[in-house]
């Protein structure tokens, strides 16, 4: 669930955030699977809020276990649509 709805990032923008030197500087594709460690997740969430004004739930299913830029982008979009439906 997002606490604030800002500019929803697309897959390329999520990959760009994940490619930050503090997370996965060598990330090569949207479907490449990886596991975010706690510091990487915190930094990703910080960048997401800073650049897109979206506060995402750190325990969301798409952040836990093996994930990818595509899965995260899809999860953020689903959460965004869910917030809009609740209004």
Q: Predicted confidence band at 87 (pLDDT cuts at 50, 70, 90)?
A: very low
pTM score of the predicted model: 0.86
Take residue 34 and report the two structure tokens written for it: 């990886």
C-alpha dihedral sign at 66, 69, 80, 52: positive
pLDDT of 3 reads 45
* Structure confidence at residue 82 (pLDDT): 78
Can you tell me which residue has the tokens 């960048």? 47
Domains of the chain, start order: 11-86 (1.10.1200)
């Amino acid at each position: 669930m997002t606490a604030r709805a800002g500019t929803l990032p697309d897959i390329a923008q999520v990959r760009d955030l994940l490619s930050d030197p503090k997370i996965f500087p060598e990330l090569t594709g949207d479907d490449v699977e990886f596991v975010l460690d706690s510091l990487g997740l915190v930094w990703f969430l910080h960048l997401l809020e800073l650049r897109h004004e979206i506060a995402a739930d750190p325990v969301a299913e798409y952040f836990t276990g093996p994930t990818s830029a595509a899965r995260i982008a899809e999860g953020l979009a689903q959460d965004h649509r869910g917030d809009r439906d609740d209004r």
